[in-house]
Amino acid sequence: MAVQSLCAKLFNNLDVSCIAPPRKFWQQAVLINKSDIDTYTETLPDAETEECNYKVTFTLKDGTTGYRILGPEGGSSFFGSYDKSRSDLGYPQYIHNVSILIAGEDEASKCILDSLDKGSFVVALQLKDGTVLIYGLINGLTTGDYSYSIQEGSGGTPIVLSSLEDAPEGNLPLVYESAVPGQETEDFDDAFAVAS
């Protein structure tokens, strides 16, 4: 008999019959060293109060910042996705995936790739409607296997950062909420930097 998780229930409707949801990301990402996150607060759905929230507010340690990776705005290399499965105990778990474009064979691009391969990151992406999504907040993201070729990839290669299979996230990617109401885009544009 399969174990079925009954920890949540629906408490709102979803009508997308007359609107087109945002389907494209700005072609940039802000990568944050996981160890630079100082504090965070998640606000998740609450079945008792029937409130549907799926957001996070966070601050980085003093003197730290995220790092922006930019691609051509007409491209489609920067995007996020997630894969849902169930744990052995029947709870939902999510593998977060973020695709970014790395280009060139110079020292700077090699240093970026080396860091991505050996580090753990939280990644922020922004949809065209301004919504900022946060991937890998709890367990971080890192690169998987890839083949890098500037010859075949017009000078660069899309690189995917993902949750480790043995360390999935417990939630979907979260919507970023600034500590200053309405300042999500400014925080993203400033790479979430904290002045020291």
pLDDT value at residue 10: 61
At 184 the three-state DSSP class reads helix
pLDDT value at residue 51: 78
The tens place of each residue's pLDDT in the chain, 196 residues long, gives 454 545 556 666 767 677 777 779 999 999 999 999 999 999 988 777 777 888 999 999 999 999 999 999 888 999 999 999 999 999 999 999 999 999 989 999 999 999 999 999 999 999 999 999 999 999 999 999 999 988 886 778 999 999 999 999 999 999 999 999 999 999 999 999 976 5
Identify the DSSP state of 137.
T
Buried b (16+ CB within 10 A) or exposed e, 102-111: bbeeeeeeee
pLDDT value at residue 1: 42
pLDDT value at residue 134: 98
Taking a C-beta distance cutoff of 8 angstroms, is the pair 124, 177 a contact? no
- Nearest Cα neighbor of 66 from 41, 96, 36 is 36
At 70 the three-state DSSP class reads strand
Q: Which residues contact 132 (CB under 8 A, 6 or more apart)?
A: 124, 125, 126, 175, 176, 184, 185, 187, 188
**Cα dihedral 141, 146, 152, 156 sign:** positive
DSSP output for 73-124: TT----EEEEEEEE-TTS-EEEEEEEEEEEE-SSHHHHHHHHHHHH--EEEE
